[in-house]
Chains A and B, each alone.
Chain A
C-alpha cells in the first residue's frame, strides 16, 4: 500500500501528493466522461469522490463507459451505484459517494458543497449552465468537458479568474447533440477526460491554469486552442459584478408536470423563446411521422410518443406519465430543431 502512489509522487512531489489525497472532486454525470475521469481520479488517490447520475446502465453504454459490465446492464443498475461499486474495487482507501439524482438548479448547490473541484461529465448544456452558476456562486473551479463523434472540447472555469460558461453563451442553446443520436468513439472520451483530470490535479495541487478553450477532432486530426480571457463579461449574470445566478432560480427550471388521467407529461423549457414551427417541421421530416402544423403548434409521432409542441417551446408528450422519460424525449426532439 505504501508504494501505491509512488510513481505519481515522484512526479508531483510529496506535498502535492498529500494535497491530492486530502482533495475532493465531484463528477456531474457518470456516462463516458464521468466513468473515465472517475477511474483516473480514484487511481490517483483523490481522497473524496462524489459521482452524480440519474440514469441506469444499458448495453449501448459498454462500448465506452469503462466502469460498467454486462452484469450491470442485466441488473439495470443505476450508473452512480455501479460506478461506486467498481471504483471501490479499484481503490478501497478513498471515500466514494454516489448520488442517484437528476441535477437541477435547486439541488446542485447542496451537492457541490465541500468539494474542491467540479468535473463536467453531463450530456447537455442546460445542466452545464446550472452547474456553472453554482460553481461560480460557491467559488469552486468547474472543468467543462464535452464530446460527440470524434470531436471534443474542454474549458476550465476558474471563478473570479476566467470567463464562465455564461459569458460565452448569449442564450441557452437548444443544440442538444448527444451521443445517443450522433455516435461517438471512445478515444475522444479519453482525450477529453485526460485534459479534465490534468486540470483537476493541477487545481488540487495549486498549479496555475490558463483560460484556454481547447478542441480536438481525433478522426480529422484537427485541433484548436483559443485564449478566452477577452470574453470575460463584467455584466455576466453569473460571474459579473452583480450576479443573479439565473439558472439556480426556481422560475428558470425546466418544468415537467404529469397531466392527470391523460398518460401525458407537459414540459416547459427553462427559457422562453419563439420557435419557427415550419422550420422545425421540415427538419423533423424523416425522423417523425404524422406531422401536423397550425399557427400555434406542431404535432407529430416521435418514436412511440405523440408530441404536441407549442411555439413557445412548451410541449405535451403523450404515451408516458414518467417525467424523466418525457424530458428525455423532449430533448431528443429538440435536437432536430438546430441540427
Chain B
C-alpha cells in the first residue's frame, strides 16, 4: 500500500488496509491520536472499519507527554 503520510510517500505491507492497522503498524494504537484521511478526521469508533486505499493522504498526530 502506498500512502502519503504526514507529507511523505510511504509504502507499507498490504495488510495495512485500515486506520486501525495503520496505527498498529506504527505502534500508536494505545496512544491518543488524531487521524485524518483525505482531509476528513476519522472518529475513534471508525478506526477498524475505515478502509485505506493506495494514494490516500493520511495525517496522524499523536499526543506526547513531555515538555
* Bound-state Cα–Cα, A114 to B32, Å: 32
* Bound-state Cα–Cα, A121 to B6, Å: 25
* B65 at interface by CB-CB < 8 Å: yes
**How many A residues touch the partner, as a band?**
35 or more
* B7 at interface by CB-CB < 8 Å: yes
Question: Which residues in A have their C-beta under 8 angstroms from that of B59?
Answer: 224-226
A120 in contact with B67 (CB, 8 Å): yes
Q: How far is the CB of A14 from chain B (nearest CB, A)?
A: 34
* A34 at interface by CB-CB < 8 Å: yes
B64 in contact with A146 (CB, 8 Å): yes
Considering only residues 166-217 of chain A, those with a C-beta below 8 Å from chain B are 168-170, 173, 175-179, 182, 184, 213-215, 217
* B34 at interface by CB-CB < 8 Å: yes
* Bound-state Cα–Cα, A147 to B67, Å: 5
> How many residues of chain B have a CB within 8 Å of chain A?
19
Question: Which residues in A have their C-beta under 8 angstroms from that of B66?
Answer: 123, 146-148, 177-179, 182, 184
* A271 at interface by CB-CB < 8 Å: no
* Chain A residue at minimal CB-CB distance from B60: A224
* Bound-state Cα–Cα, A173 to B8, Å: 28
A33 in contact with B61 (CB, 8 Å): no
A224 in contact with B6 (CB, 8 Å): yes
A145 in contact with B63 (CB, 8 Å): no
* A338 at interface by CB-CB < 8 Å: yes
Q: How far is the CB of A58 from chain B (nearest CB, A)?
A: 15
A223 in contact with B6 (CB, 8 Å): yes
* Residue of B7, B31, B36, B65 touching A223 (CB-CB under 8 A): B7
Question: Which residues in A have their C-beta under 8 angstroms from that of B49?
Answer: none
* A31 at interface by CB-CB < 8 Å: yes
Q: How far is the CB of B52 from chain A (nearest CB, A)?
A: 16
Given the interface contacts A173-B32, A226-B41, does A125 sit within 8 Å of B63 by beta carbon?
yes
Q: How far is the CB of B8 from chain A (nearest CB, A)?
A: 6
B60 in contact with A175 (CB, 8 Å): no
Q: How far is the CB of B34 from chain A (nearest CB, A)?
A: 5
List 6 A-B residue pairs with CB atoms under 8 Å apart, sorted by A's residue number.
A31-B67, A146-B65, A179-B67, A182-B66, A224-B60, A338-B31
* A interface residues, Cβ below 8 angstroms from B: 29, 31-34, 120-125, 145-148, 151-153, 168-170, 173, 175-179, 182, 184, 213-215, 217, 222-226, 228, 230-231, 338
Beyond A175-B31, A184-B66, A231-B41, 9 additional pairs, beta carbon < 8 A? A31-B67, A120-B67, A125-B32, A148-B66, A152-B64, A177-B66, A178-B65, A228-B41, A338-B31
